[in-house]
Structure 1
Amino acid sequence: MDQKIDRILGTYSSGKKGPLLFLSGGIHGNEPSGVEAILKVFNQLKKDKPQIAGTVVGVSGNKIALNKGTRYIEEDLNRSWTEENIRLKKKNSSEQKQMFEIIDVLQKYPAEAFTKRYFLDCHTTSSASLPYISVQVVNENDEWAHRFPPYIIRGFSDIVYGCIDHYLSRIGVTGFVFEGGRHDSPHAVENHEGMIWIALEKACDLDLKSLSEMPKSIGKINNSQKDQKTFEIVHRFGLEDGDTFSMEPGYENFQKIKKGELLAICNNKEIRSSWDARIFMPLYQDQGNDGFFVIKEVES
């Protein structure tokens, strides 16, 4: 990004009791679009001063990596939120230290001060993708996610441990991760912005018509998928340190795959599909320990 990123991206309230909406962007430093969208929303909130119930707070994730334009500094921040790290107050890496900075912000907004607490964690993907929700099926997360228009993926946090949404769900905050599209997609910021406005409407009773200008991003996200679908992860192909991995070219999120189809080469061995299903998050970047996932559609 062109500007230095602060930890707190913005806060807004019109003084009416209600819920907390906790927004996070840039948990990975090479995914700045969530931060850009949060800043755009706060700029319009401060300009229009609409009435909302409760408070909305926005934070940057890995602000050091964001300021350097890299995914992370020492370790993946979205694998740091483990029960052990938090219980032992581990601050052995840049990411662990930043994790506690984010926790410190959230602790300024305790559950007893609000009617409910919600979160929306903004990400992007390395491969081309429709926007989608990733939800952990605990508490009221799944029911809340189904009030929004994009495709829904269940179970990511159950396979990949240590994500921020896993931590937030564990402490009773309701919400989900929203993936706005590919890292370099010009539509990612718009997708994130649209979802934030919809979350403000649904969580904080924002009357969107009270804004001086209706954000076009809302219509874009509402029309992104005509029929909401729900998918579950059936397989993760994980990578170890030192593995050589190359995805076969051309795969996009939600693309159908056939049993026996060549998906990737890992350590000079062919990796073929064992399913008639769909591919999810094919890895097209150097950093990351998730080669790809396989998903299947389920009843919502």
Structure 2
Amino acid sequence: MSNLTVGLIGLGAMGAGIARTLRSRGYHVHVCDVRPEAAQAFAAEGGTAWATPAEVAQAAPVVVSVVVNAQQTEAVLFGEHGAAAGMTAGSTFIMCSTVDPNWSIALEAKLNAQGVHYIDAPISGGAAKAANGQMTVMSSATPAAYAAAGAVLDAMAGKVYRLGDKAGAGSKVKIINQLLAGVHIAVAAEAMALGLREGVDADALYEVITHSAGNSWMFENRMAHVLAADYTPLSAVDIFVKDLGLVLDTARATKFPLPLAATAHQMFMQASTAGHGREDDSAVIKIFPGITLPQPKA
């Protein structure tokens, strides 16, 4: 079997971009998705579609999983026709979701017991960077797992960080990144909401802040969505309900206080409860009372 053969499960915004990047870098990519039409569309562009994760695992020595959370990863591996059934000794499973680090550590042990290598490899950067091969991978794995599939990681991304010789460190760094991302989005929304409440022109405020010391990548990126009144979910409110929940669960285990993360989590929870859970995460601004949000420009 060619060492340029790879499997990928999950063709959402990030997974589809990764699959295209791998194909552009010389890999033959075998895919499947819960939406068969997504896999068939990728196959029509060049690649191979399969109906189940088990078939992908039988076709490729390295399987990349790009699904939302630990529950979906469990289903990919151990559900009906799961990938674990198709993996043989020496295969490698690359897990790209944001998960509880302790869950990732346990998954490594479970797969290693079957002779399967495991790479804890959460990703960051968004759909655009996934599509152009510039995303970041925060990985940790045994030297044997890196030897088996490190080249796939390097082909997927612009930056691959190798953070430890066993699972867990990658997921810990990812949830710390998510702490910052969630807090930055929440405070960006708070700042824009205050400006709107005080009658400041929203476009002018955006222009000034993005050229001043108070700017952040998240303010610049997400408040542009608010100005455009476009809440199409590139990353949804409910993603941060989940991810900040993981942050707080991790800290709670050692009684470590995270007051800003806790407040941001409550803001995303409030937005979700108000019906905005599947909107873009910038929709957290909708929790603020007494403001008139920008409307779509004609």
TM normalised by structure 1 equals 0.32
Higher RCO (CA 8 Å, separation ≥ 6 residues): 1
Report which of the two has the higher share of strand.
1
Report which of the two has the higher share of helix.
2
